[in-house]
Amino acid sequence: MNPETKISPTASQTVGPFFHLGCTERSSIASLVTPETKGERIRITCRVLDGNGEPVSDAMIEIWQTNAQGKYDHPDDKQDKLIDPAFRGFGRQATDETGICTFETIKPGRVPGNDGSLQAAHINISVFARGVMQRLATRIYFAGDPAIVNDPVLGLVPEDRRHTLLAQRSGAGEWSFDIHLCGENETVFFDV
């Protein structure tokens, strides 16, 4: 190679900001519910922050969760529970200029872990953002849920870091969850 040749990164070497262009109104899924969906309605607001605590305005959040009975609408979920045809278990939103996106959904039901014990209610999250080479996987648990004490996955997280996975109640049926990409308050991300 000629020493004067300069190599520049290409778009394929990062997940952002190029994916943000695909988050049009048609491609975004902010509501996972219909009027017929069974379960406790909740609204969860996610805020993505960088290491300095500044909002990340061009991130994308995907959520995936069970229905109110604890059943994923996926062929690999072999539980003998009914799928709720009025519930979409997947959502996708881009963050706005303040780093925020909001989902209308239901409180998820509990599912068994690998050891057969029940996991606490949670929502699976994937975060895509500029400078992030692969998606970041995390979970939202709900502060005050007594089941989090015995959750087998949360039990793997050091106790002093578990708070980074807890959504906080911000009103009736309203929850807020901050995702810190790095820094002192970095959210726990899972290697999945």
| Tens-digit pLDDT profile for residues 127-149 | 998 888 889 999 999 999 999 99
Q: Spell out the CATH class of 12-180.
A: mainly beta
Would you say residue 13 has pLDDT above 50?
Answer: no
pTM of the model: 0.87
Would you say residue 4 has pLDDT above 70?
Answer: no
| Tens-digit pLDDT profile for residues 53-106 | 999 998 999 999 999 999 999 999 999 999 999 999 999 999 999 999 999 999
Domain ranges, ordered by start, for the chain: 12-180
Residue 144 near residue 106, CB atoms below 8 Å: no
Sheet holding 90-94, edge to edge: 90-94, 60-64, 122-128, 136-142, 166-171, 174-180, 41-49, 100-106
